[in-house]
Amino acid sequence: LKARLRALAPASGRLEATRIFHEIDTDGSGEIDGTELRGALQALGLRVSKKRTKQILAKIDTDGSGTVSYSEFIENFDVLFDEVAEMKGVTAVVHQYRMRNFRGNPRVTKSMARRL
Protein backbone atom coordinates (compact mmCIF):
# COMPACT_ATOMS: atom_id res chain seq x y z
CA LEU A 1 0.00 0.00 0.00
CA LYS A 2 2.74 2.44 0.97
CA ALA A 3 4.63 2.05 -2.30
CA ARG A 4 1.48 2.22 -4.39
CA LEU A 5 0.19 5.43 -2.83
CA ARG A 6 3.62 7.01 -3.08
CA ALA A 7 3.84 6.19 -6.78
CA LEU A 8 0.34 7.40 -7.59
CA ALA A 9 -0.60 10.68 -9.15
CA PRO A 10 -4.15 12.09 -9.05
CA ALA A 11 -4.74 11.01 -12.65
CA SER A 12 -3.86 7.37 -11.93
CA GLY A 13 -6.05 4.63 -13.25
CA ARG A 14 -9.17 3.21 -11.69
CA LEU A 15 -7.64 -0.26 -11.45
CA GLU A 16 -4.91 0.89 -9.06
CA ALA A 17 -7.44 2.85 -6.99
CA THR A 18 -9.57 -0.31 -6.81
CA ARG A 19 -6.63 -2.32 -5.49
CA ILE A 20 -5.89 0.35 -2.90
CA PHE A 21 -9.55 0.42 -1.82
CA HIS A 22 -9.48 -3.32 -1.18
CA GLU A 23 -6.21 -3.06 0.75
CA ILE A 24 -7.64 -0.36 3.01
CA ASP A 25 -10.93 -2.27 3.46
CA THR A 26 -9.28 -4.82 5.73
CA ASP A 27 -12.53 -6.43 6.92
CA GLY A 28 -13.82 -6.91 3.37
CA SER A 29 -17.11 -5.15 4.12
CA GLY A 30 -17.02 -3.07 0.95
CA GLU A 31 -16.87 0.08 3.08
CA ILE A 32 -13.90 1.90 4.62
CA ASP A 33 -14.46 3.04 8.18
CA GLY A 34 -12.41 5.42 10.30
CA THR A 35 -10.33 2.67 11.86
CA GLU A 36 -9.36 1.26 8.47
CA LEU A 37 -8.56 4.70 7.06
CA ARG A 38 -6.45 5.60 10.08
CA GLY A 39 -4.61 2.29 9.81
CA ALA A 40 -3.83 2.99 6.15
CA LEU A 41 -2.56 6.49 6.94
CA GLN A 42 -0.40 5.12 9.74
CA ALA A 43 0.94 2.46 7.36
CA LEU A 44 2.15 5.38 5.24
CA GLY A 45 4.13 6.63 8.21
CA LEU A 46 1.70 9.43 9.08
CA ARG A 47 0.84 10.25 12.66
CA VAL A 48 -2.84 11.02 12.45
CA SER A 49 -5.31 11.54 15.27
CA LYS A 50 -8.81 10.08 15.38
CA LYS A 51 -10.17 13.61 14.98
CA ARG A 52 -8.10 14.26 11.84
CA THR A 53 -9.10 10.86 10.46
CA LYS A 54 -12.78 11.78 10.94
CA GLN A 55 -12.20 15.07 9.10
CA ILE A 56 -10.62 13.28 6.14
CA LEU A 57 -13.32 10.62 6.16
CA ALA A 58 -16.01 13.33 6.08
CA LYS A 59 -14.44 14.84 2.96
CA ILE A 60 -14.73 11.59 1.00
CA ASP A 61 -17.92 10.23 2.62
CA THR A 62 -20.30 12.17 0.40
CA ASP A 63 -23.49 10.44 1.60
CA GLY A 64 -22.71 11.04 5.29
CA SER A 65 -23.00 7.37 6.26
CA GLY A 66 -19.81 7.41 8.33
CA THR A 67 -18.07 5.00 5.97
CA VAL A 68 -16.67 5.32 2.46
CA SER A 69 -18.14 3.09 -0.23
CA TYR A 70 -16.21 1.97 -3.27
CA SER A 71 -17.96 4.54 -5.48
CA GLU A 72 -17.23 7.36 -3.00
CA PHE A 73 -13.60 6.26 -2.84
CA ILE A 74 -13.23 6.27 -6.63
CA GLU A 75 -15.05 9.62 -7.00
CA ASN A 76 -12.97 11.26 -4.28
CA PHE A 77 -9.64 9.52 -4.70
CA ASP A 78 -7.98 12.81 -5.66
CA VAL A 79 -9.22 14.36 -2.40
CA LEU A 80 -7.66 11.54 -0.40
CA PHE A 81 -4.47 11.76 -2.44
CA ASP A 82 -4.25 15.52 -1.76
CA GLU A 83 -4.79 14.97 1.97
CA VAL A 84 -2.02 12.37 2.09
CA ALA A 85 0.32 14.61 0.09
CA GLU A 86 -0.38 17.55 2.41
CA MET A 87 0.22 15.45 5.52
CA LYS A 88 3.40 14.03 4.02
CA GLY A 89 4.57 17.60 3.45
CA VAL A 90 3.79 18.57 7.04
CA THR A 91 5.53 15.44 8.27
CA ALA A 92 8.62 16.36 6.26
CA VAL A 93 8.68 19.89 7.75
CA VAL A 94 8.33 18.52 11.28
CA HIS A 95 11.13 16.03 10.64
CA GLN A 96 13.42 18.73 9.25
CA TYR A 97 12.62 20.92 12.22
CA ARG A 98 13.43 18.18 14.69
CA MET A 99 16.67 17.43 12.88
CA ARG A 100 17.70 21.08 13.20
CA ASN A 101 16.37 21.22 16.78
CA PHE A 102 15.41 24.89 16.92
CA ARG A 103 16.24 26.02 20.46
CA GLY A 104 15.28 22.60 21.82
CA ASN A 105 11.58 23.46 21.54
CA PRO A 106 9.48 20.47 20.38
CA ARG A 107 6.74 22.71 18.91
CA VAL A 108 6.83 23.87 15.30
CA THR A 109 5.59 27.40 14.71
CA LYS A 110 4.70 28.91 11.34
CA SER A 111 7.74 31.18 11.45
CA MET A 112 10.02 28.21 12.12
CA ALA A 113 8.45 26.25 9.27
CA ARG A 114 9.06 29.18 6.89
CA ARG A 115 12.76 29.13 7.80
CA LEU A 116 13.09 25.52 6.69
Burial class of residue 54 in the structure, from the number of CB atoms within 10 Å of its CB (0-12 exposed, 13-18 middle, 19+ buried): middle
- Give the count of domains, the chain: 1
Tell which residue, 63, 34, 33, has the closest CA to residue 51.
Answer: 34
pLDDT recorded at residue 2: 54
pLDDT recorded at residue 11: 44
Domain that includes residue 47, residue range: 2-115
pLDDT tens by residue, the chain, 116 residues: 655 655 554 445 667 788 889 999 999 999 999 999 999 999 888 889 999 999 999 999 999 999 999 999 988 887 887 888 787 776 555 545 554 554 455 555 555 555 54
What is the value of pTM for the model shown?
0.66
pLDDT recorded at residue 50: 95
pLDDT recorded at residue 10: 46
CATH number at 56 reads 1.10.238.10
Pair 44, 92: CB distance under 8 Å: no
